[in-house]
Structure formats: structure tokens, C-alpha cells
Amino acid sequence: MRFSVARLARRLHAIGLENGHGGHQLGCEEAIATIKGSKMLQNSRVPVHWREVIPETVTGRGISQIEGVIQNSKKLCAAVQQAIIEDIGSGDREELLVVGGDHSCAIGTWSGVASRLRPYGDIGLVWVDAHLDAHTPNTSPSGNLHGQPVAHLLGFGNDELSRIGDAFPKIKPENLVFVGIRSYEPEEREFLHKLGVRIFYDDEVQKRGISDVMSEAVDRVSHKTYGFGLSIDMDGFRVEDAPAVGTPASGGIIADEFLKFMTTHAMDKLLVTELVEFLPKYDDVNRTSEKLVTDLVEHIYLPRFARYDIAEELDQRRRKQAYA
């Protein structure tokens, strides 16, 4: 049974992790409450069901938060694993969204997806971000854990963090693609280049366009994998499209063009989406970042629900014809 496309979705399940102490500054831990209480999201056309919201375990800031990140990652991994177990065993296909605070939550998210689906095959991952997030505790100049999830998902860094869910690397280098990168340290770039990871830097995105780049990225992470995930850091977008972030960088993806790609390209092998690094206290008076979160949810998932509605309508017609 294919987890990703065996059945079309009826609703979107969401899991939240209220984490922020692994980040550059505090505030991302408030993202879940803001998004969960957002009237924009509540009034959207995608029915969101919050399965669980996980409070953050805090043991410090910077590298002293590593034990907290380990505990947070284990809890989020278990929640994701359980959601996937229930989906595989149920008669109805449900979609899964993970909403985090700082990007260290990705260790828990993708460890849960990869370890639970390992019997079915490898998973791919498209990492939309301004940053590479590929330091280890030994190479990070800041010690901030939100700059280290990729290395741990690849099997490097802290032994406990790289073994969340199971003892194997969660993502193979050939199944990982970065999109929108424009801020990084030389150690991260050298580490990923040696592994052969495909990185679409911001200048290439601007030259080719996000649609062309994302098409290639999705093709790459779908090749010889069971399916792929999408991890979206809000600072991957231009500041004018997503002002509520803690580590803004000049340049970035044009949000409208990214949203258009999501509604015009098949994403049949998409397994899970993760949204991170929304820092509500920095949003503008128009709540531009909050609106972008809602737009992302709608543009990624509404086409999938629409396909369900069409399929259900056709099935009802066939039943009526059978009894006519």
C-alpha cells in the first residue's frame, strides 16, 4: 500500500512542535499558537485537524539546548510515526503537515517519516531555505541547533540526534535538494559538496525561475524513492513576502511564483510538508507572513483535496448509473 497516493485525502492532519530555543532568537515557539488560532487558516478551504501540539523541552540556549532538542526530536518523531501508522492502516487517505518553530524540529519530522517508511523504500527531501542548516555541533560558530538538522539527518554530528527513530541515516545525499540558498558558512558548503548534494543557490533560482528549479528538484527527489518531503523555512522567501523571520537574508524566492508552481505541477509523491521559522512578533500590520502560511497550506493541499472531490463525484455517478 502506498502511503502517499493510494487514496486521495479527505482532510489535512497537523502536528505542531512549540520549539524556539534552538534558534538564533526566541519567538518561533509562539508560531504554533498563532497558526492554530489563525482565522485565515480556519477559514481556508483546506480542512485542518490538529492531531497533537508538543510543548518544547528546554535545557538552555545554543549548544546547551542539545538535550532539549534530543527530547523534542524523539517526541515529534513518535508523533509522526503514529500518524503514518494510522494512515497506512486506515481506509481513508489523510495528508500530514508538521508545523515547527525553529528548524531543529526537522530532525524529528524526517526521522519519523524515514524510519516508519523504511520498509517501503528511501525518502527524498526538498529543503526550501535561505540557509544550508548543515553544521554539526563541532563546526557551528554559533552553536544554534536550528543550523544543524541537515547534517544529523544525513547521519553526522551528535550520535543521539542522528539516531532518532532508528540507527540509519534518514536521507541519502542523492535524495536531498536545497532550493533558494543564499546564506551559509564555507564548512557547510564544503561538507555538502563533498557528499554530492544538489544545491540550487538563489542566483540560479533567479536566473532560471522557481518553476523550472522546483520541477528539477521534485524530479530528483522522486527518482528511486518511495516519496519525498517538503521542508519550508519561511526565510526562503523574500523579506517582503515573509517579514516574520529571525534570520532574514537579501534576495529570496518570490512567494507568488512558488505558490503558482504548487497549483500547476503534480506532486503525487509528496509525503509530508513541514513549515518552520515563522516568528509572529515580527509580522507586519497586514499579517503578511501569517497569510503566506495559509496560502502555502491551500496551494499545496487544495489541489489534492480537489482531486478527491472529483474522484468521489465520479464514483457517485457510476453508482447511480449501475442502479439505473
- Residues catalogued as catalytic: 103, 129, 131, 133, 146, 233, 235, 277
| Contact between residue 85 and residue 135 where contact means Cβ atoms under 8 Å apart | no
C-alpha cell at 35: 497558526
Q: Report strand pairing: 227-233 vs 93-99.
A: unpaired
Cα separation, 252 vs 235, in Å, equals 8
Q: Which residues pair with 123 in a beta bridge?
A: 227
Other residues' Cβ atoms within 10 Å of the Cβ of residue 190: 12
Contact 210, 241 (CB under 8 A): no
How many residues are there in the chain? 324
**Cβ atoms 214, 258 nearer than 8 A:** yes
CA angle (169, 14, 241) in 5-degree steps: 90
